[in-house]
Amino acid sequence: MKKTYLAAAALLLASGAALAQSKISGDVVKIGVLTDMSGLYSDIGGQGSVVAAQLAVEDFGGKVKGKKIEVVAADHQNKADVASSKVREWIDREGVDMVTDALNSAVALATAKVIAEKKKVLIDTGAASTRLTNEECTPYTIHHTYDTYALANGTGKAVVKQGGDTWFFLTADYAFGHSLEKDTSDVVKAAGGKVLGSVRHPLNASDFSSFLLQAQASKAKIIGLANAGGDTINSIKAANEFGLTKHQTLAGLLVFITDVHSLGLQATQGMYVTEGWYWDLNDDTRKWAKRFYEKTKKMPSSNHAGVYSAVTMYLKAVNATAADDGDSVMNWLRKNPETDMFGKNMVLRSDGRLIHDMYLFQVKKPSESKGPWDYYNLRHTIPGDQAFQPLSASRCPLVKGK
């Protein structure tokens, strides 16, 4: 008789444990950092994003609700097909619960589709395209760090306000470049400026002098660089070489701190930059950047900080709901604004856009900088409700009344 009681009690305990387990799949919370490990964006994401995710896990003590947290990483090679098959494999075979970074807009859009199909969570920190929160929005995508609208809005408005009312665009000839050019043109025109023309250059063009001469001939006050990474770097370099910067001003529309670091202040001084985060904003950012620097010997980009924040908010949701499935996590995140070292009271909108302040910086003169990585002067904090595309303009079908 006593034995039966014991057995029954053991069975009850076991089933109770099984019930508690069932809400965290596979007894482990797995975070997938999907990034460019070796190509032109690997300084913005790459190994740094993995470190950022690990720092977030470290802050949770490596465990959430008694379950282990694991970080896995993969190189998407900037190819949408590689990304979507990797994510599928991660979810089906390795039990990954959440994907982050996913820089490069094409990769992000492909990943978002798989994630929505599998009802997991994508917190995208690296991609720029506003399509993620418009035509291609899903209930499982969060667009975290920045987007082309916010960049155009930040830099475009500020430059026109400073008197830069005639523009010529140097545009990377693919979806991202076109949309950045269009968004910025709209902002410039709305602010009373004029767009005099544009030239489309191929991705990874090694020489920009020819395109810059065309920009010079346009006599526009501002040359808007609607490109990214190495293309932006080489455009700025050639513009300095050909003396364009004496009479015209460059406006880098997607510039990361790693680009400024690579070019040096001599070539970039005075340029306006819009970013969602900078390491030298306040004590919290400085403290976190120091931890990051100790591991990587580089200062973090805004994308790295975004990955940290993305993993943190996801783990908070898992901790609060004791579940790691997409629906529970997303529901919790929609109701609970996130505060961490990236930003305060960041609200998740129904189209998937995470609303937070954006910052307009101006690159320091060499004489103002105290040393490597001391590059930005904060010119203006753009409050979250003005920084991003208004919800009323969203083309996302998930938004009520659409």
Partner 1 sequence: MNEIFGIPAQALLGQLLLGLVNGSFYAILSLGLAVIFGLLNIVNFAHGALYMMGAYVAWLGLELFGLNYWWALLLAPLIIGLFGVLIERALLRWLYKLDHLYGLLLTFGVALVIEGTYRYFFGVSGQPYPVPDLLAGATDIGFMVLPNYRAWVVVASLAVCLATWLMIERTRLGATLRAATENPKLVQAFGINVPLLVTVTYGFGVALAAFAGVLAAPIIQVNPLMGSNLIIVVFAVVVIGGMGSILGSIFTGLALGVIEGLTKVFYPEASATVVFVIMALVLLVRPAGLFGREK
In the complex with partner 1, the residue whose CB is nearer, 243 or 397, is 243
Supply the DSSP symbol for 138. -
In the complex with partner 1, the residue whose CB is nearer, 40 or 73, is 40
In the complex with partner 1, the residue whose CB is nearer, 270 or 383, is 270
The strand pair at 98-101 and 28-35 is best described as parallel
Least distance between partner 1 and beta carbon 174 (Å): 11
Q: What is the DSSP string of 169-231?
A: EEEESSHHHHHHHHHHHHHHHHTT-EEEEEEEE-TT-S--HHHHHHHHHTT-SEEEEE--HHH
In whole angstroms, give the CA distance from residue 233 to residue 230. Answer: 5
In the complex with partner 1, the residue whose CB is nearer, 140 or 373, is 373
Least distance between partner 1 and beta carbon 72 (Å): 20
In the complex with partner 1, the residue whose CB is nearer, 202 or 397, is 202
Q: Could you tell me if 225 and 192 are in contact, meaning their C-beta atoms sit under 8 angstroms apart?
A: no
Which among 105, 111, 103 has a CA at the least distance from the CA of 86? 111
In whole angstroms, give the CA distance from residue 47 to residue 282. Answer: 25
Which among 349, 313, 351 has a CA at the least distance from the CA of 334? 349
Chain residues that interact with partner 1, rule: CB under 8 A: 38-43, 173, 199-207, 209-211, 213-214, 217, 229-230, 233-234, 237-238, 241-243, 258-259, 261-264, 267, 298
Least distance between partner 1 and beta carbon 223 (Å): 15
Least distance between partner 1 and beta carbon 270 (Å): 17
Q: Could you tell me if 317 and 329 are in contact, meaning their C-beta atoms sit under 8 angstroms apart?
A: yes
In the complex with partner 1, the residue whose CB is nearer, 238 or 347, is 238
In whole angstroms, give the CA distance from residue 387 to residue 310. Answer: 19
Least distance between partner 1 and beta carbon 338 (Å): 30
Least distance between partner 1 and beta carbon 259 (Å): 6
